[in-house]
Structure 1
């Protein structure tokens, strides 16, 4: 079957090891099933896999991809939850120390067919396209958990999103606006800031700009480049929620400001199956939909990876096997 995969890591030149070609059809353990993939979205996790981050050589070749939408063995339209807990785990899957995502221990979703635990399947509403549904289980679920589960913020409060154009950032803008938060964003270019305003952001600023007033919360996925600005932008008692660090993991700590103004620093990772179910329901009730930057056939996966690596994104990149 056709798949996008990696056979050897390349930390300095990840695109050099991206392969698109034939791979064996998936083996199906007991309690698992298969999904015919109709759409899969690209995430920064996939670039990390090419670099060998979280994916040692001994697990390769590995099919990439953490989320998908498609048809189950009975022809039902489904969405795949990307978090795989360890056997016997109960409760919040994201807190399982032995949890994995597809493409870490088990073959990923960036293929014509994928094997998944039966419990990882949720019904896809008819009102969501396969491409839109494929954007939900990673980027949009991450944004949902950050804003609605982990932050403790309430509608009406002001939230700053660092970075205006990626999958998680655009999801935060759309979801926050739909729920009644005042959403501010930063962006490196006028084009990215204008796109965020068109999505529903209330205000958009240059990266690192002094804000008109301090905010109640910051959603942080950028890391080293924006960390100091995030902390300095918060009101006393504010909260920063972190779900990634695409520019590096070595920020200036700003510890003095954190303890003196009693800030909360909260980590957030992916989301649970129940939270994905709630997100799907929210999309159905409100009519909000993921912003898709480009939809490409899987045979042209390299173009999508190049766009992400170079930061040329305005929403989600989706592949169709």
Structure 2
């Protein structure tokens, strides 16, 4: 079957090791099933995998991809929850020490078919396209958990989103706007800032800009490049929710400001199956939809990966099959 995969890591030149070609059909073990993939979205996790971050060479060849929407063995349209917990784990899957994402231990979703646990399937509403549904399990679920589960913030408060154009950032803007938060964003270019305003952001600022006032919360996925600005942008008692660090994991800690102004730093990782179910329902009830930057056939995976690596994104990159 056609798949996008990696056989050897390349920390400095990830696109050089991206392969698109034939891979064996998946086999479903007990409690698992196979899905015909109709759409799969791209995440920074996939670039990290090409670099060997979180994916050691002994796990390769590995089909990339966490997210998918498709058709199950009974002909049902489904969305795949990407977090694979231990078979005997109960409760919040993101707290399972042995959890993984598809494409870390088990083969991923950038393929014509993928094997997943039956418990990881959710019905896809008819009003969501396969491409839209494929955007939800990682970036949109991450944003949903950051804002509605982990932040403790309330509608009406001001939230700063660092980086205006990525998958999580655009999801935060749309979800926050729909729920009644005042959403501010930063962006590196005038084009990205303008796009964020069209999505529903109340104000957009240059990266690192001094804000008109301090904010109640910051949603942080960028890391090293924005961390100091995030800390300095908060009101006393404010909260940073961090779910990633695409520019590096070694930020200046700003510990003096954190303890003196009693800030909270909260980690957030992915989301649970029940949270994904609530997110899907929210999309159906409110009519909000993921912003899709581009849809490409899987055979053009190199183009999609290059767009993400170079920062040429305005929403999600989706591969269709």
Q: Secondary structure at the match of 1:38?
A: strand
1:131-146 to 2 correspondences below 5 Å = 131-146=131-146
CA distance in structure 1 between the aligned counterparts of 2:41 and 2:134, rounded to whole angstroms: 6
Aligned-partner Cα distance in 1 for 2:82–2:252: 32
Q: Deviations over 1:37-77 (max 9, x none)?
A: 00000000000000011111111100000010000001100
Query: Matched residues in 2 for 1:278 and 1:301: separation?
Result: 30
SS of 2:36's equivalent in the other structure is: strand
TM-score, with normalisation over the residues of structure 1? 1.00
Alignment match, 2:14:
14
Structure 1 residue 176: deviation in Å? 0.1
Q: Unpaired runs of 5+ in structure 1?
A: none
1:194 aligns with 2:194: yes
Secondary structure at the aligned position of 1:48 is classed as helix
- Determine the C-alpha separation between the residues in 1 that align with 2:170 and 2:67: 18
Give me the whole-angstrom Cα distance separating, in 2, the residues matched to 1:247 and 1:9. 19
Residue of structure 2 equivalent to 1:84: 84
The CA distance in 1 between the partners of 2:28 and 2:253, in whole Å, is 46
Cα distance in 2 for residues equivalent to 1:100 and 1:58: 16
Q: Which digits, 9 at most, give the CA deviation of each residue in 1:246-296, with x for residues without a partner?
A: 000111110000000000000000000000000000000000000000000
Shift in Å, 1:231: 0.2
- Deviation for aligned residue 1:87: 2.1
* 2:8 corresponds to 1:5: no
Q: How does 1:108-187 map to 2 (within 5 A)?
A: 108-187=108-187
Q: How many residues align?
A: 321
Q: CA deviation at 1:27?
A: 1.3
Counterpart mapping for 1:227-266 below 5 A: 227-266=227-266
SS of the residue 1:217 aligns to = strand
State the shift of 1:86 in Å: 1.3
Which position in structure 2 is the counterpart of 1:27? 27
TM-score (norm 2): 1.00
Secondary structure of 2:279's partner? helix
